[in-house]
Structure 1
Amino acid sequence: MREMLKKYVARLEDPNHPLLGPTLRGLQSCGMWQPNSGLSRIIYNLIHLAATLILVSLYVELWFIRADLELALKNLSFTMITTVGVVKAGTFVAWQTYWRDVIQFVSTLERSQLQKKEKTTSTIIEDYTKYSRNVTCFFWGLIASTFLTVILAPLVDFFLSFSEQRELMLNGTIPFPELMSSWVPFDKTKAFGYCFQTVEQIMICFYVAVINANYDANTVVLLSFFRGQLELLLAKSKKLFSEDGNPVSYSESMERIKQCHMHHLSLIKYSKILNSLLSPVMFLYVVIFSLMICAIAILLTTEGTTTMTRMWVAEYLAALIAQLFLYCWHSNEVYFMSESVDRGIYESEWWRCGVGLRRCVVLLGGQLRKTIIFEAGPFTNLTIATFVAILKGSYSYYTLLSKNKG
């Protein structure tokens, strides 16, 4: 499956977007990236609106089943992940202009760097581009496997049931296995109502899966870009005053200092724009995932839960933790690379230059000391420490709810 995904991703390459070609095609296919106006944009926005209405029905049903803890927790896990998907799609479409600025900056910068055909630059870009393709394949594969597990679980439960139970289900005495519990304006226990609800739920699961897969892959690829560009800036700052051990001229040194300064300024500027786009979504992401991890952990330990349900819930939980970890890991990588990028100046041959150049080096060092950090709302940063804190908090909530249930 991984090799198939790699071949598929290779067909999505775009010379205008050396890094973001596959992810942009993915975003466009699910209606988030909308470069062109017209009928297709209207259709995609209607799909986003329909998903929002289905989300409302999930919250309505959650209110009606609030007395059944197990059913409510199961419904809550789907409702929360659907909420995240709808918010991701809505904010991406609403803030399209700002996303376009970031994407255009990334692609324009990479094209100009690749045209110079510098060995170090090409190697670093090639390395993080290759890594980004692997991350994209991982996200798409992870979400695809989770989607298939979720939608097939009720069918497997039905066929694994005893024959007497299946007859009772077919007679309408006991309900059929459900993907989730959502509100519909007719009887869900009848054949038509059950089929309608099942089709609706498969569609919303597919919608949420493609939204999360493409949004998350695009975001992590962008984080890899900033980390790789900071690594490139570190390599360039080491060669401010020499090339292959030979000193360069005063004018060439000044030009290199200027380029490093402008390079870092642009990275700071567009990382702030990206952070402003991600921060509200990631705040919701962190809060909801904390609740979801807790709810799913309770479902895993609840008596009476079927084996198949435990299996898909466990896979679902692993996918959630993997998604959050990848966000925190890559954001953490950007932060630590931005903290160490000024090291390149001290590893350069600054001691060879005159007083005038040394003053410029001091100014460049002050600029390079500015760090890049991505946030989850106004309260926390996306780092490994935050990831560990979320897991600890989820365990605390799980312990509290387990005691109350007992």
Structure 2
Amino acid sequence: MFRSILMKLENPKRPLLGPNVYALEFWGLLLPENMFKRYFYLSMHVLVTIFTATEYVDVWFVKSDMSHLLNNLKITMLATMSVCKVTTFLYWQKRWRSIIEYITKSDLNRRKTNDMTKKNMIDNYTKYCRKITYFYWSLMYTTVIIVMVTPIFKYLFSSAYRSNLDDGTEKYLQVVSSWVPFDKNTLVGYLAASAFQSYAAIYGGGWITSFDTNAMVIMVSFRAELELLRIDCANIFSEEGRIVSDKVCNERLRECHKRHVELVKYSRMFDECLSPIMLLYMFVCSVMLCVTAYQITIETSAMQRFLTTEYLVFGVAQLFIYCWHSNEVLYASQNLRWGPYESVWWTKDVSYRKDLFILIAQYNRIVAFSAGPFTQLTVATFISILKGAYSYYTLLSQSQNVISDSAQT
């Protein structure tokens, strides 16, 4: 049954991006042509954006409670990232459509090959894209479900919590901390607020999963194109150990050059769309990881520690997957220049060697993705973010210890 559901997400016209484009359309990031559906999705986006604004309002009311404040900031910053992703995706809708169409077109062309080595590579990275997509979806919605069921779980299994609610010494645990224009400490108000918060959590999760997995698969596609292009460069002058004709050599030279020019063009367009988001992502993840790590140390409930740890794992995985795939593209781009040297270039005359030198010069244009104008998106950058988050965590812990010691004295 589960397999049949996944098969419905496949699209023979988009063998690589099928499930990803389906998710983008389902959650309204790729707006439909139908005007009614278009305005429906836009209204859904506006509602979640308004909800994110109410989270910021709620910060003011919980600023005196460190535990609630940190929990609010953690969720609010993630929601802000979701809003920024969707806003930029809608603003650069034509660019994203162009990138998706380029990826689809190049992928379909790659699949026409009869080379078994290439076929195996294509099958492997397609399976990898499916695994990373479904893993990310599972991780995200595990987090969303945990956030939604935590209040129910606490109410059902904590008699002390129910008793405190009855005598008014404790307030209802919210799905997501947010401000509402009515009293959410009454049962009716709490249920109404929880319904809106659950909607925002589910829809925000859809935004994150569809945007992130689409970006990750596009990165994998760029890496695959670079690796396959290196193989084609190595075979410019020969095929199965035989030297090919001059006409075929010229066609292959032109094709390799054309493919790389297109790849550089669309990779830069992709970086222009993603780079501002990744710059904000780095800052948000640094703060979010710091806050989550600190919450784990101050939580007394084993269940709350587990839930917070799961959130921390999601935050780390979210950033790592971006940095890892960007790092893979960078190294594949750097290694591409070796492709022409792996050909039997010494069997050709000087004119072909000059053409090959021009091709190598073209390949010196490295494909790399960045986080704003400051740094490239690599594993080294990911490690630096973790170090920064740990530094913030240490500073926060020490400042709270100082405040506690001062209060005791």
| Structure 2 counterpart of 1:81 | 78
| Structure 2 counterpart of 1:42 | 39
Q: Distance in 2 between matches of 1:199 and 1:404?
A: 37
Structure 1 residue 309 displacement after superposition = 1.6
CA deviation string 1:89-126 (max 9, x = no partner): 11111211000110111112222333354444433322
Q: Does structure 1 conserve the Cα–Cα contact (< 8 Å) formed by 2:216 and 2:325?
A: yes
CA deviation string 1:296-353 (max 9, x = no partner): 11111115x4222211110000011011111000000000000001111111100000
- Superposed, 1:280-359 pairs within 5 Å as 280-303=276-299, 305-359=300-354
- Superposed, 1:130-279 pairs within 5 Å as 130-162=127-159, 164-279=160-275
Q: Does structure 2 conserve the Cα–Cα contact (< 8 Å) formed by 1:12 and 1:22?
A: yes
Q: Distance in 1 between matches of 2:193 and 2:167?
A: 18
Moved over 6 A (4+): none
Q: Does structure 2 conserve the Cα–Cα contact (< 8 Å) formed by 1:172 and 1:190?
A: no
5+ unaligned residues in a row in structure 1: which ranges? Answer: none
Q: Does structure 1 conserve the Cα–Cα contact (< 8 Å) formed by 2:147 and 2:176?
A: no
5+ unaligned residues in a row in structure 2: which ranges? Answer: 402-409
Q: Distance in 2 between matches of 1:124 and 1:36?
A: 36
C-alpha RMSD over aligned residues: 1.5
| Structure 2 counterpart of 1:387 | 382
Q: Distance in 2 between matches of 1:104 and 1:344?
A: 27
| Structure 2 counterpart of 1:401 | 396
Structure 1 residue 127 displacement after superposition = 2.0
Counterpart AA for 1:333: E
* Range that drifts further, 356-365 or 245-254: 245-254
| Structure 2 counterpart of 1:66 | 63
| Structure 2 counterpart of 1:9 | 6
| Structure 2 counterpart of 1:90 | 87
Structure 1 residue 193 displacement after superposition = 1.3
- Percent identical: 38
Q: Distance in 2 between matches of 1:358 and 1:97?
A: 40
Counterpart AA for 1:61: D
Q: Distance in 2 between matches of 1:401 and 1:166?
A: 32
CA deviation string 1:346-374 (max 9, x = no partner): 11100000011010000001011211110
| Structure 2 counterpart of 1:23 | 20
Structure 1 residue 250 displacement after superposition = 1.2
Q: Distance in 2 between matches of 1:44 and 1:186?
A: 27
Give the TM-score of the pair, scaled to structure 1: 0.95
Structure 1 residue 62 displacement after superposition = 0.6
CA deviation string 1:223-282 (max 9, x = no partner): 000000001001000101111111011111111111111111111000000000100111
Q: Distance in 2 between matches of 1:371 and 1:384?
A: 17
Counterpart AA for 1:252: V
Structure 1 residue 147 displacement after superposition = 1.2
